[in-house]
Structure 1
Amino acid sequence: MIGLETLSKYSTPDVEKQRMIDDLLHPQLHSLVKSQYDFCESKAYYIEPTKYCPKCLRKYHEEENFCPECLVSLKHIKDVDIKLIKSDPQFKFIKSNEFNSFEEIFTQENKNRIDEFDFSTKDYNRILRNIKKSSITTFDNLIRSNEILLDDLKLFDKILLYAKSFVEVDFKSYGQELGYFSFNRITLDDRQTVSLQITTLIHELAHFILKEIMTEILCTLLDCSKNSLIESIAVFILSYSPFTQLIDEYSAHNCEGRFTLYGYQDYSSFIQIEKSLDGEMTADEIEITKSIGNNFSVSIKDILESYIDWDLRSDIKDQFLKDVIDEPNYEMLALENCNKLTDIGFLKAIWLIVSEGFSAASQNRDKLEMYETNF
């Protein structure tokens, strides 16, 4: 008879039973051992690709040198810090005239051009197309020049890189503001959650796009090329009165809300301006500013959604679910106005904004000169 001690060499661990016991007695022990096992296993059998095809973007291992399908040489995958990428977005708008001073701009002839308002829906759509085309061109150049594999980027880096096709982006870690836009530059507080950084970035980007729309409207009306003088007037028009401030802020909040998880919309900046009015505008007038803001926000969202598509919006919502700890608050949604102006009504609104704003700007040269130094 075989001795019991000799049977020990035939003994093998009952991994499944041991796992059950570990789970019952030491639930964390198994997960730790399992993760270590998986790590060892992955290190033994999986080698991370280090190269990619610049044409089809397929990934390859280090020993490969050419893509057999595209017949091009492979490039090494780089770790790129999107925050450190410098961009120089250019939104050119070329017309017949080139103004070199505010004196050349604020002539009676140009005031007449503004008042006559030779501007159509086709002109407006041409401006939107120009902005979209310029941003996509810059975006593509940023991807190519930095050898970026877009699909490999984290969600925030995808949105940040896209934002850099419009503006320069800086970061801060102080103060109460989540972020702000000023003279073609966005500053973002990186202490926020990822989801709030994304929606803040979109909010401030909407401010820039509206400024760019207003700049190119002025260029169209004055038949002039874009420069820092015209941009300064556009900045003034959007900031000199509660009427235009509300339009600017409402459209930015509305765009932000489009990409925010339902119940986490925020109109705090709009409310702050509204509270400071002290009876300057009636409730009906405020509602009209919202309607105008809706028209602008539809245009801005159309530009943004050329990249931030359904899949990215879903990713942003998922990120919100990971980040948020507060319960949703639907009260802010009551501030949203669901009305838009017709094409004719919207053109009349643009005429009102530009004609009153241009006239006011002509009386505020000192402020314009201060703005102009920032471009």
Structure 2
Amino acid sequence: MTAPPNVTRNSTPPPAHPAQRGRATQRTETQPRPKRPVSMAVWTPVMSGVLVLSVTVAVTIGSADISMLDVWRSIGAHIGLDRLGLEPAALSRQLDGIVWDVRLPRVLTAAAVGAALALCGAVMQTLTRNPLADPYLLGLSSGASVGAVIVLVLGVSQFALPVAAFGGALLALTATLTLANRRGELPPTRTVLAGLAVSYLCSAITSFVIFWSATGDSYRGILSWLLGSLGGKSWDDVAIVTTAVVVIGAALLTRTRTLDAFAFGDGTASALGVNVNATRWTMLSLVALLTGAAVAVSGAIGFVGLMIPHAVRLMAGAGHKRVLPLAALVGASFMIWADTLARTMFDPRELPVGVVTAFLGAPAFAILLRRRRMSR
């Protein structure tokens, strides 16, 4: 049997014309290359500098005329920075009291709370594989509010406030994950619905406790706390939240590879040797503890844990070795300026900081969603 005419076996296509080869090469060269995330060696010092500058500038804002140099003079007078050439004695006692006893504790508390909520949101979004997960949506903040309000209404010692907030957050988290669990998995939609159910239940319990027990002006104070408030914070509050952020944040940073594995699903994490259930519950318990510490000091503040991790992923990529430290830095700076707006926008009246974060967070999150959709 002979081959058809003009057709040979093992024939190869004729070489392309030089002009065609040039056009193909041109198309390849003009294709957009994927953007590589900026190195941590750039982002970390930049955001650290932004945080230090935010703390300094925020302390200077207010009715008293205080300069940035005055802020560092006051800090130098209390922590021994005389060797740097600052003259703490040049600052009056009145200005030193405003900086050290009034404004600086509030600003540092805001920074620690912002860092805590941003860390919690980043970890929860990965462990549940749900981009809408945050301490507020999954009921942790509402559960912590139940414990804290019970302590406030009963007049128990303030040292019991963080413990009660942590207990409430852990109970709410357990209820949410138990409701959402389906054959060992946590479907995103089911998790959100379970979180909403637990959140509404905790809100109802909080309202009942306030209605049944609060008297006189305690209504106003509890309502302000529930909406989020950083007024009147002391160095004890700074110590509570900062210690929680440092200790739990360090523990989470040691598990960044585990979080990267969870980002690809429970099956992938299990194949890589991760004990999925034990690791998830351990890390979510740490998140509940951190949320309880933040809520005990500042009240329930939304949108920070939801919005900041998404913004950081757009800046620096999805690796948790980048996301966690940058989320803490960005969340701290964001909360400082949200609280500064809350206390100065309608001076001498003060807005709850939770109202400001909602006003800023809702449109910002809508922009992030639009950018993600356009990038896809």
Larger Rg: 1
Shared topology, TM-score over 0.5? Answer: no
Higher share of residues assigned strand: 1
Larger relative contact order (CA 8 Å, sep ≥ 6) = 2
Q: Given the two structures, how large is their TM-score scaled by the length of structure 1?
A: 0.25
Higher share of residues assigned helix: 2
Q: Given the two structures, how large is their TM-score scaled by the length of structure 2?
A: 0.25
